[in-house]
Amino acid sequence: MFVSITRLRLRSWRFFPAFALAAFRADRQARRSAGNVATDLLRDRYGAYWTRTLWRDEASMRAYMLAGAHRQVMPKLLDWCDEASVVHWEQEVSTLPDWEEAHRRLVLQGRRSKVRHPSAAHDTLDFPAPVPR
């Protein structure tokens, strides 16, 4: 199994309507993609948006990333977000990691995604664990 964790934060609420629509479409695409085992979304108390997805293999996850709604929204995140990061890993179990593990992995092993207006936390990956609203 292949796990993907993402976290991003919008730099302004003015981007929220377009982001919400794009997120809905990308989530629907993920759930319908070949090789997707599980998908979960979270908007935390700090205004960050998290995803946890579990894939049969890395090729399935990459096929999703490079197609459809996900591919269309990625360039827009450069301007919409001030924080964005991702981490991937292989695991034996076929369940999503809990949010605590997702945070731990993202902080320790994650990589920053490119954004044009980064916050200080973006540069260091120093952000709080997700707390559901």
* Closest alpha carbon to 18 in 83, 77, 65: 77
pLDDT of residue 3: 98
> How far is it, in rounded angstroms, from Cα 121 to Cα 37?
31
pLDDT of residue 72: 97
Q: Is 99 part of any domain?
A: yes
* Closest alpha carbon to 27 in 39, 44, 43: 39
* Closest alpha carbon to 33 in 4, 56, 16: 56
Q: Is 55 part of any domain?
A: yes
pLDDT of residue 132: 82
Q: What is the CA radius of gyration of the chain?
A: 14
- The parts of the chain modelled with pLDDT lower than 70 are none
pLDDT of residue 17: 98
Q: Is 91 part of any domain?
A: yes
Count of domains for the chain: 1
Instruction: Give the range of the structural domain holding residue 37, as residue numbers without chain letter.
Output: 2-124
Q: Is 96 part of any domain?
A: yes
pLDDT of residue 68: 97
Please give the model's pTM, rounded to 2 decimal places: 0.95
Contact 57, 77 (CB under 8 A): no
pLDDT of residue 110: 97
